[in-house]
Structure 1
Amino acid sequence: MDLARRLYDRFASLVHELAKFGSIGAIAFVLDTGVYNLFLLGLGWGPLTSKVLATTISATFAYAGNRFWTFRHREQSGLGREYFLFFMLNGIALLFGLLVIGFTTYTLNLDDGLSLNIANFVGVGLGTLFRYWSYKKWVFLEATEPIPVELPETGIRQDR
């Protein structure tokens, strides 16, 4: 039991961070998949156009969720900087999805809804691995000093 407690103490912050990242990611995945299918199957748009638009919408949600919940304990290095890097890295992650969907559609000649949704799922999975690693490395940086906490009575910020 002591070993389990020591392991938990050592990895608790990582486990909590991964749980939050996974929660935001799950919601963003549902949003991405729903919007992708709306554009692809509902409106009859092309698979790559549908993917770019769906990712843009879901990435906007994911940025807000990750900035203000998952990684809020990390240093805030400027909204403009983070936003730019976040969307640049999401653009790179989007390439994984576009490559898989493009390969499925134009190389394998599979353009039915099921095949394109499987391709989307594989692309999102590959992109998610890249996004988690890159967000921690370049977007939401480790805090270099303690994050100030607001005093409840006055609203004045004070360092601990």
Structure 2
Amino acid sequence: MSKLSNTITASLQDKYGWLIKRLLKFGLVGASGFLVDMGVYTLLSLALGIPHLVARGSSYWVSASWNWFWNRNFTFSSVEKTKKLPQWGKYLGMCIISFVPNWGTYYLLTTWIPFFSDYKQLALIAGVGLGMLFNFTIASLFVFSSKKDAVMAGEH
């Protein structure tokens, strides 16, 4: 059984190792983007006194641009480079979709659950987690896709 398990593991690593590495890089970029998001949100809302919903919306777009830059140059660095502005536009288009569950979760939690009204950063974390669930797939398929990825995934 151990030999079979090792064979299966090795086979999966051979076939999907590149995808696992890319997912880990995406997670690192996302974590750095989260820090940017939280930092900008905190600066705008707490330091500058901007209303929390406006600060939340603004911090999201700053971190989305940060994430696009690092995903382009780190996570998907092996993918053929396309023109920056159209790709950034596609990435922000993806972010519009993920903004709905991200900001919507934040809004619902801070509006309807008193605990999150007092601890807004925790609502921000919940929103980021929900929005991030499908970002990797959308980014991989539509923003940073390449023929090389299709071959690596076994699609000819």
Report how far residue 127 of structure 1 moved.
1.0
Among candidates 125, 143, 147, match of residue 147 of structure 2: 143
From 96, 118, 125, give the equivalent of 2:122.
118
Specify which structure has the higher proportion of helix: 2
The aligned length equals 143
User: Is contact 1:36-1:54 (8 Å) kept?
Assistant: yes
SS in 1 for 2:79: coil
Two-structure CA RMSD over aligned residues (Å) = 1.9
TM-score (structure 1 length as normaliser): 0.80
The gaps in structure 2 that reach 5 residues or longer are: 1-5, 150-156
The alignment status of 1:131 with 2:135, answered yes or no, reads yes
Counterpart for residue 92 of structure 2: 87
Alignment of 1:102-113 (within 5 A): 102-108=107-113, 110-112=116-118
Aligned to 2:49: 44
Distance apart, 1:21 and its partner CA: 0.5
Deviation (angstroms), 1:25: 0.7
Which stretches of structure 1, 4 residues or more, deviate above 6 A after TM superposition? none
Extract unaligned runs of 5+ from structure 1.
146-160
Q: Deviations over 1:61-117 (max 9, x none)?
A: 1111100111122233332221111011112212222212221233335532x1x11
**Most deviating of 80-89 and 3-12:** 3-12
Q: Does 1:63 align with 2:53?
A: no
Percent pairwise identity = 27
